[in-house]
Structure 1
Amino acid sequence: MTGTARIRGGGAPGSSRIGFLASRIGSALTMLLGVCTLVFLLIHLVPGDPVEVMLGEGARPADQAALRHALGLDRPVWAQYLDYLARLSRLDLGQSLHAQRPVSDLLAERVGPTAILAVSSLSLAILLAIPLGVLAAQYRGRVVDRAAMTFSMLGAAVPNFWLGPLLILVFSLWLGWTPVSGREGALSLILPTVTLGTGMAAVLARMVRSSVLEVLGEDYVRTARAKGLGPAAVLWRHALRNAWLPVLTLIGLQFGALLGGAVITETVFSWPGLGSLLVEAIQTRDYPLVQGAVLLIALTYLAVNTTTDLLYAAMDPRIRAV
Structure 2
Amino acid sequence: MPNRIRSQALVNGYRMTKSHPILKWVIGLVGLPVHAIASIFYLKQKRALDYQAILRQELAELKHSALNQQLRQEYVSQYEQKQQYFKRPLDEQERERVVNQQIDQRLMKVAEQQLADRSIRAVRYQDVFQSLLRSQVFVLSTFIPGLLLYSLLLIYQNAFSRFIFERIMMTFFVIIAVIVIVFTILYISPSDAAANILGESATMDQRMAFNRQYGLDQPYLVQLWQAIKGILSFDLGHSFTGNEVIMTSITNRFPVTLTLAISSLVFAIIIAIPIGIVSAAKTNSFWDYSFMFIALIGLSIPSFWQGLIFILTFSIRWGILPSAYSPQDYLSLVMPVIVLGTGLAAAIARMTRSSVLEVMHEDYMITAKAKGLSSRQIFLYHGLRNAWVPIITVIGLQFGVMLGGASVTEKVFNISGLGSYIVDKQFIPDIPAILAGVVYIAIAISVVNLVVDLFYALLNPRIRSQMKGN
- Structure 2 length-normalised TM: 0.63
Other structure's SS at 2:378 match? helix
Match of 2:304 among 151, 161, 171: 161
2 CA distance for matches of 1:231 and 1:174? 48
Aligned to 1:314: 458
Which structure has the higher relative contact order (CA within 8 Å, separation 6+)? 1
1 CA distance for matches of 2:212 and 2:396? 44
Q: Are residue 96 (structure 1) and residue 234 (structure 2) matched?
A: no
Q: Are residue 25 (structure 1) and residue 168 (structure 2) matched?
A: yes
Give the aligned CA root-mean-square deviation in angstroms: 2.1
Of 120-129 and 89-98, deviating more is 89-98
Question: How far 1:242 sits from its partner (Å)?
Answer: 2.6
Question: Greater helix share, 1 or 2?
Answer: 2
2 CA distance for matches of 1:45 and 1:175? 50
2 CA distance for matches of 1:71 and 1:24? 34
Aligned to 2:338: 194
2 CA distance for matches of 1:230 and 1:314? 25
State the identity %.
37
Match of 2:225 among 82, 85, 92: 82
Aligned to 1:176: 319
2 CA distance for matches of 1:318 and 1:206? 29
Q: Are residue 203 (structure 1) and residue 347 (structure 2) matched?
A: yes
Match of 1:279 among 405, 417, 423: 423
Question: How far 1:252 sits from its partner (Å)?
Answer: 1.4
1 CA distance for matches of 2:305 and 2:380? 36
Q: Is the 8 A contact 1:128 1:201 kept in 2?
A: yes
Q: Is the 8 A contact 1:172 1:178 kept in 2?
A: yes
Aligned to 2:119: none
Other structure's SS at 1:211 match? helix
Paired residues in the alignment total 312
Of 64-73 and 117-126, deviating more is 64-73
Q: Are residue 213 (structure 1) and residue 380 (structure 2) matched?
A: no
Of 139-148 and 92-101, deviating more is 92-101
Question: How far 1:226 sits from its partner (Å)?
Answer: 4.5
Other structure's SS at 2:467 match? strand
Deviations 1:82-133 (A, max 9, x none): 2212223322111111121221101000100000000010001101111110
- Residue correspondence of structure 1 range 1-322 to structure 2 within 5 A: 14-184=157-327, 185-226=329-370, 228-315=372-459, 316=461, 317-320=464-467
Of 221-230 and 276-285, deviating more is 221-230
Question: How far 1:161 sits from its partner (Å)?
Answer: 2.0
Q: Is the 8 A contact 2:231 2:436 kept in 1?
A: no
2 CA distance for matches of 1:171 and 1:231? 43
1 CA distance for matches of 2:408 and 2:467? 37
Question: How far 1:228 sits from its partner (Å)?
Answer: 5.0
Gaps of 5+ in 2: 1-15, 17-155
Q: Is the 8 A contact 1:183 1:272 kept in 2?
A: no
Deviations 1:145-175 (A, max 9, x none): 1111111211111121222212112112221
Question: How far 1:44 sits from its partner (Å)?
Answer: 2.3
Question: How far 1:46 sits from its partner (Å)?
Answer: 2.5
Question: How far 1:318 sits from its partner (Å)?
Answer: 1.9
Aligned to 1:3: none
Question: How far 1:37 sits from its partner (Å)?
Answer: 0.9
Query: What residue identity is the alignment partner of 1:256?
Result: G
2 CA distance for matches of 1:42 and 1:173? 42
Other structure's SS at 1:91 match? coil
Query: What residue identity is the alignment partner of 2:190?
Result: P
Question: How far 1:209 sits from its partner (Å)?
Answer: 0.7
Query: What residue identity is the alignment partner of 1:311?
Result: F
Aligned to 2:130: none
Of 196-205 and 153-162, deviating more is 153-162
Q: Is the 8 A contact 1:253 1:305 kept in 2?
A: yes
1 CA distance for matches of 2:185 and 2:307? 30
Gaps of 5+ in 1: 1-10
Question: How far 1:233 sits from its partner (Å)?
Answer: 4.1
Q: Is the 8 A contact 2:176 2:228 kept in 1?
A: no
Question: How far 1:135 sits from its partner (Å)?
Answer: 0.4
Other structure's SS at 2:229 match? helix
Query: What residue identity is the alignment partner of 1:289?
Result: A
> Cα–Cα, structure 1 residues 75 and 14, in superposed 2: closer, same or farther, change >3 Å?
closer
| Bigger Rg over Cα | 2
Q: Is the 8 A contact 2:307 2:412 kept in 1?
A: yes
Aligned to 1:6: none
2 CA distance for matches of 1:168 and 1:307? 35
